[in-house]
Amino acid sequence: MRLSVACLAIALSGVCQTALAAGGSAAPAAAASAAAEGSAAVPARKGFQDPMERLRERLAQKLSGGKVDGSDPGLVRVVNRGGGTGPATPAAGTSAPSGSAQRERRADTHASGEVPRWDYQGPGGPAHWGQLKPEFATCTSGKRQSPIDIRDGIKVQLDPVQFDYRASAFRVIDNGYTVQVDVEAGNSITVLGRRYELVQFHFHRPSEERVDGRQFALVTHLVHRAEDGRLAVVAVLLEPGRAHPIVQAVWNNLPLDRSEDVAARTSLDLNALLPEDRSYFTYMGSLTTPPCTEGVLWMVMRQPVPVSPEQIGIFARLYPMNARPIQQASGRLIKESD
């Protein structure tokens, strides 16, 4: 039932097919978990707004011709709720997160389920993700999982990723697993002739991916979705250096309360988040959070981008460790710009 609700909402935006694909259990590619990589937004926020209520709001906005919070991320959240493929329902008193901030945050995500909430440690930790829920099985059984240690790539002439980013409205969400930024529609990349729309970006500490064994202070994952539901994630590695204005703008707009979902009063131009050198590594992988859906096209920018130690420190207070361990590359082809 929820699926149909989601689909109705989405039909208004003309992407119902995608929603259906996403909700279906066959789950072609990564569509099943469209909210994607870091899709945690869904469960953590679940308690704060009833899907029907949100739908009613969106319908009212749409029908009145008023300004809709028309960003894809909104849609994605609805789809994910409907499809039921989102990460585990937060469970009460599961593990004992390390940071006190985390402890506080997680204390307020009570739910009645007995299955531990997926987490980065403890009973709900990465080694157990595949057993927490049937729909998370790929986390264990998958053969093309992310992240990986990127090494031994073949150097070829990779087509540059065509970034079409522009100054955009955004909202910052603390979803209990990461800081996620939903960006308004209108930002996209084109890779091998396929256009993917930016849905959201979020952060991990330390970087999930490694390059020749090296891990970085932070990574940001820019999650894009094509019309057919395929996902492409651009990873930008962040290392200590000078302060980064984009990261600062995100931190400046961190909500005081997780139930808040307030639009920032400034805009973000994500071109500024990309490294000067646009060479990259690419391979096929998965979401790095449950349900670990495969078929995700990864592009990891080779040149890290600086962020200040203070900026890293701010994220570390919220999320000391939110990186999935390295997964087996299992002979996967990794290409690298030569």
Residues near Zn ion, by CB under 5 A: 37-38, 221
Q: Smallest distance from the beta carbon of 251 to Zn ion, in angstroms?
A: 18
Distance, in Å, from the CA atom of 282 to the CA atom of 113, rounded to the nearest integer, reads: 38
Nearest CB to Zn ion, comparing residues 20 and 229: 229
Q: What is the distance between the terminal CA atoms of the chain, rounded to a whole angstrom?
A: 50
- Burial of 314 (C-beta count, 10 Å sphere; 0-12/13-18/19+): middle
Nearest CB to Zn ion, comparing residues 54 and 221: 221
Nearest CB to Zn ion, comparing residues 38 and 116: 38
Nearest CB to Zn ion, comparing residues 37 and 184: 37
Q: Smallest distance from the beta carbon of 324 to Zn ion, in angstroms?
A: 8
Q: Smallest distance from the beta carbon of 203 to Zn ion, in angstroms?
A: 8
Q: Smallest distance from the beta carbon of 204 to Zn ion, in angstroms?
A: 5
Q: Smallest distance from the beta carbon of 275 to Zn ion, in angstroms?
A: 18
Nearest CB to Zn ion, comparing residues 234 and 268: 234
Q: Smallest distance from the beta carbon of 160 to Zn ion, in angstroms?
A: 23
Distance, in Å, from the CA atom of 175 to the CA atom of 220, rounded to the nearest integer, reads: 15
Nearest CB to Zn ion, comparing residues 37 and 294: 37
Q: Smallest distance from the beta carbon of 36 to Zn ion, in angstroms?
A: 8
C-alpha angle with apex 64: 59 to 65, nearest 5 degrees? 100
Nearest CB to Zn ion, comparing residues 171 and 221: 221
Distance, in Å, from the CA atom of 224 to the CA atom of 232, rounded to the nearest integer, reads: 5
Closest CB to Zn ion: residue number: 221
